[in-house]
Amino acid sequence: MEKERLALNYALMLEMIKAKDYESQQIIALFEEGNEEILESFGEGIPTWKTMIEFYQTNKAKCERALMDGYEISFLTKGALKSLLSIKFAMKEDKDFVDTGEGLDRVKMSGENLKALSEMISKNWTIVLLEENKEQDTHLLRIELTYKPVFTF
């Protein structure tokens, strides 16, 4: 079964709530209640929590499947990818990964986090395994554009 595809802003807002240890059913209840003030306690909406509530209200089944079964982000810029790593995995640039200009290098992750990222990252990015330490469950990765631009002059 294919995962639901979500726009980046909705995915990041879901991850803001999940980062506070809320489970899927609790998140659904928050959206059903529709209280923007409560949602603002999780961080600034992208663009607003009202937008997320409206999206949920008109796409309940899609949102619930995304929460229960996982989702794939429809498209990610490099900056958005860095935001995702920060929000979902509490990773910091220059500590947990390096921005090379074209992608991200020296990304350090556990196997569980690598699996989660692999399942949600948009298809415009490819994860390349550089090193794996099975004993410590650590993976060193590079995340690069799947389709690199070709410039001809």
| Residue-range domain boundaries for the chain | 4-73, 78-145
Residue 150 clears pLDDT 80, i.e. is over it: no
CA distance 144 to 149: 12
Confidence of residue 141 (pLDDT cuts 50, 70, 90): very high
Confidence of residue 1 (pLDDT cuts 50, 70, 90): low
Q: Where do we find the tokens 């200009």? A: 101
Return the structure tokens found at 111.
């196997």
Q: Is 18 exposed, middle or buried (0-12, 13-18, 19+ CB in 10 A)?
A: middle
Residues recorded for the chain: 153
pTM to 2 decimals? 0.80
pLDDT digits (tens, 9 = 90+) for 74-116: 888 999 999 999 999 999 999 999 999 989 999 999 999 999 9
pLDDT, position 153: 72
Q: What share of the chain is helix, strand, coil (3-state, %, to 5)?
A: 45, 20, 35
CA distance 145 to 149: 9
Confidence of residue 58 (pLDDT cuts 50, 70, 90): very high
Tell me whether strands 104-110 and 125-133 are parallel, antiparallel or unpaired.
Answer: unpaired
User: Taking the alpha carbons of 56, 62, 66, 71 in that order, is the dihedral positive or negative?
Assistant: negative
pLDDT, position 52: 95
CA distance 142 to 117: 13
- Asked whether 45 and 13 are in contact (CB, 8 A), the reply is yes
CA distance 3 to 11: 13
pLDDT, position 143: 97
For all residues of the chain together, what is the average pLDDT?
93
